[in-house]
Amino acid sequence: QVQLVESGGGLVQPGGSLRLSCVASGSIFGFNTMGWYRQAPGKERELVATMTSGGTTTLADSVKGRFGISRDNAKKTVFLQMDSLTAEDTARYYCHLHNNGRRYWGQGTQVTVSS
C-alpha cells in the first residue's frame, strides 16, 4: 500500500519562504507523477505543481515565478519550494501521486501566511 507523508508546513509572514516535503512509501512502478495540491477554506482543491519521473513539470499560474518543484527519486520524495508567500497562499497542502492508474493522497500540511 502506497503512503504519502507531508512535512514542512507552518506559520510564515508575508514575503517569507517555506519548503514542503513529501515522502512516499510502498511500491511505485515505472512512470509516475508526484506533486502538490492545496485547499483553502471555502475553495476547491486546486493544483499547485506536479513533476513526472521523466522531469516534466506543471505550475499553476498563481505560483509561477514564486514556487518551484523538485524530486529525489532515490528517496521517493518530492519538494515544493515556496518563496514570496502571500496571504492567498494560505491553505492545506496535499501531496499527490499518480502511478499505475491509481491516485494517492497524503494527509496534508497546513501553510498559514499571516502577520
Cα 32 from Cα 41, distance rounded (Å): 29
Strand 18-25 relative to strand 77-82, pairing: antiparallel
Beta bridge partners, 35, equal: 50, 96
pLDDT digits (tens, 9 = 90+) for 74-89: 899 999 999 999 999 9
Task: Report residue 75 as a C-alpha cell.
Answer: 528517496
Going by the DSSP 8-state scheme, the letter that residue 92 receives in this structure is: E
pLDDT digits (tens, 9 = 90+) for 3-47: 999 999 999 999 999 999 999 999 998 899 999 999 999 999 999
Locus of grid cell 506559520: 11
- CB contact at 8 A, 7 and 77: no
Cα-flanking dihedrals φ and ψ of residue 75, to 5°? -100, 5
